[in-house]
Amino acid sequence: MQTQARGAVDSPHSVAVPQHVAIIMDGNGRWAQQRGLPRLSGHRAGTENIRRIIESCAEFGVRVLTLYAFSTENWRRPEAEVNGLMMILGEVIERETVKLHEKGVQLRHIGSLEGVPAGLRQRVEYAVNLTRANTCLAVNVAFNYGGRAEIVDAVRRMMADGVQPEAVTEELISSYLQTSGLPDPDLVIRTAGELRVSNFLLWQGAYAEFWSTPCYWPDFDRAELQRALSDFGRRHRRFGSL
């Protein structure tokens, strides 16, 4: 794993750009606390940042972006915070979906909608259906998502389909995951200085490069994304070889 190093920033167009970037959006609460604001203000600032990063990824030539918005473990947070976050996410989907659709962004959901408030579930389904045919940039919103739960669900569906043990391959397992048909992430970015994957894309991220920045998610801007992409472009990916 590599942390951020400040310095000269290459243009992403002059280095290899990852096809698939995945971001663990961390630090909303700490961003708010530093400013003497309630945690929900940090979550609201974080959601305001999503469209800017989506637009920057499209500009830089990224083909797939996966955003870790809400994990299966996040239900353990205080009820008021969870309810407030659900409300904010619903507002953002309602406000931003048409704008992103007009830019050719395909919105996808990975995770489970079980237990999600009906109004938010309907907004998620509307956004996915509206943008289904778009091809500029695929954006996976990992909401109520956990990597272990995704693998367990894939195994259960394989068993239900009668897959025999000798027929199980890595390619077959990948085809049962919610990211089926998309390339695995090349680069995983985590904000707020943390150095763990937190149950995120455990199967798909096996060979991803990792990049951590101390920047909190609401402050993670185009320039910070460009630093991550530039650093990725300078790395030599060996995939176990020399």
- Residues annotated catalytic, as ranges: 26, 74
DSSP-assigned beta bridge partners for residue 113: none
In three-state form (DSSP H/G/I as H, E/B as E, the rest C), the secondary structure along the chain is CEECCCCCCCCHHHCCCCCEEEEECCCHHHHHHHCCCCHHHHHHHHHHHHHHHHHHHHHHCCCEEEEEEEEHHHHHCCHHHHHHHHHHHHHHHHHHHHHHHHCCEEEEEECCCCCCCHHHHHHHHHHHHHHCCCCCEEEEEEEEECHHHHHHHHHHHHHHCCCCHHHCCHHHHHHHCCCCCCCCCCEEEECCCCCCCCCCCCCCCCCCEEEECCCCHHHCCHHHHHHHHHHHHHCCCCCCCC
Left (φ > 0), alpha (ψ -120 to 50) or beta: where does 7 sit? left
